[in-house]
Amino acid sequence: MTGIGWRERRRALLSTDPTERASAARLLDELGIEDRDDEEIEADHRAGRLAAAREYVPHARLDEELRLRLTGPDTEGGALRFQWGDALLKPVEAALSAAAGTPVPLEIIGISAGSTVVHARPVTEVASGEPDDLGGSVTSAASSGMGTLAALLKSLEAENDVREWAPLFDAVDSLSQALGKYQLDLGLTWYDAEGGSCRAELTARGRRYVERLKRTRDRDQELTISGRITELRESGWVKVKTGTARNARAYSVHFEDTEELLRMHPSLGDTVHFRVRFRQRLDSVGIARSDEYTYLGQASEQISLPFEG
């Protein structure tokens, strides 16, 4: 619903009284069309409430709130389907927590129409005996996390470079997949404790960009792995541990030709020096999606590994 809705509702309420209808029409036409949407109007209302409260309580704060607006082919009724809730609400919480760098549990406080709008807030604990100005408390981690998450979503929608948010990418990918499953777009509006707000969305365009970013490319490097054999498999896998300490690095090396492995007559505990191809599959965000070590041959001498990834 757009910001002109309240004017139209006012006209509708007075439509049965010709005199009032004409008077309201003149007044509303003089005011002009409101070019702000409901979220912007709500942000101004909250800022006004906070300013008035601080006339009496200088350190007053508002409740923080997160609004999730779902739009799609099946959202016109303004209802939240159970399957949407199961699939979407947890990924939203996980994405916000990843952005905040700490768990940010959320709780639903209401659902309203206008497509499907879910009202949520961070779960907070107020110490007994302490005043809770305007019923709220500051959850700075949630506010900071929402700012970071909003920046990432805006960059995805604009198809910009998102590598600086690589640690958050998998969480947003999970959210993107959940939205795509039900053909839903998501709008997020965050209202903070200081009267400010920020907004972002994840639409079909952003979801398509996420899919493109997940495509991988191979990065190959030749290494020498030296150590003791600690595991052997008939399928052609050998685990080599590089030291005697319990936490020493171990590598699983694959022999594409299992006959070659059998000809070596390996035994557990043998010391080996393998020349291997290290193949790392990287996506466009820079995240390593898989690591593979493939046997190339025997190394003539022990060489320190130049890469520990």
Mean pLDDT of 160-180: 95
pLDDT recorded at residue 3: 40
CATH of 216-298, one of 3.30.565.10, 3.40.50.300, 2.60.40.10, 2.40.50.140: 2.40.50.140
pLDDT(91) > 80: yes
Specify whether the CB–CB gap between 119 and 158 falls below 8 A.
Answer: no
Structure confidence at residue 46 (pLDDT)? 72
pLDDT at 137: 43
Q: What is the pLDDT of residue 178?
A: 94
Closest by CA position to 189, among listed 91, 141, 119, 124: 119
pLDDT of residue 297: 93
Residue with tokens 């191809």: 277
The residue among 120 and 126 whose pLDDT is bigger is: 120
Average pLDDT over residues 132-151: 74
| The pLDDT of residue 308 | 47
Of 252 and 137, the structure prediction assigns the larger pLDDT to: 252
The pTM for the full model equals 0.72
What is the pLDDT averaged over residues 288-295? 93
Which of 48-62, 92-106, 190-204 is predicted with the least confidence, judged by mean pLDDT?
Answer: 48-62
Q: How far apart (Å, rounded) are the C-alpha atoms in residues 66 and 89?
A: 12
14-23, 74-83, 127-136, range with greatest mean pLDDT: 74-83
pLDDT in tens, 27-48: 666 655 555 666 677 766 776 6
Q: What is the pLDDT of residue 31?
A: 57
pLDDT of residue 136: 42
Whether the CB-CB separation of 232 and 225 falls below 8 Å is answered with no
pLDDT at residue 132, as a whole number = 46
Q: Where are the beta strands (DSSP E) in 57-206?
A: 65-71, 106-113, 116-122, 185-191, 197-202
Q: Among candidates 43, 84, 90, which has minimal Cα distance to 195?
A: 43
Residue 210's pLDDT band, with cuts at 50, 70 and 90, is very high
pLDDT at 95 over 50: yes
Proportion of the chain above pLDDT 90, given as a percent: 55
Q: What is the pLDDT of residue 62?
A: 78
Residue 10 predicted with pLDDT over 70: no
Question: Once rounded to an integer, what is the mean pLDDT over residues 283-296?
Answer: 93
Most confident of 56-65, 77-86, 192-201, 266-275: 266-275
Region 187-216 average pLDDT: 93
Alpha carbon 154 to its chain centroid, in Å, reads 12
Q: What does the pLDDT average to over 124-128?
A: 55
> How crowded is residue 133: how many other Cβ atoms within 10 Å of its Cβ?
19
- The phi, psi pair for 10, rounded to 5°, reads -65, -45
Distance of alpha carbon 90 from alpha carbon 174, whole angstroms: 10
The predicted-structure confidence for 222-240, as pLDDT tens digits, reads as follows: 999 999 999 999 889 999 9
Average pLDDT, the chain: 83
273: enclosing H helix or E strand: strand 271-283
The pLDDT > 70 percentage for the chain reads 76
39 SS3 class: helix
| Domains in the chain: boundaries | 58-124+131-213, 216-298
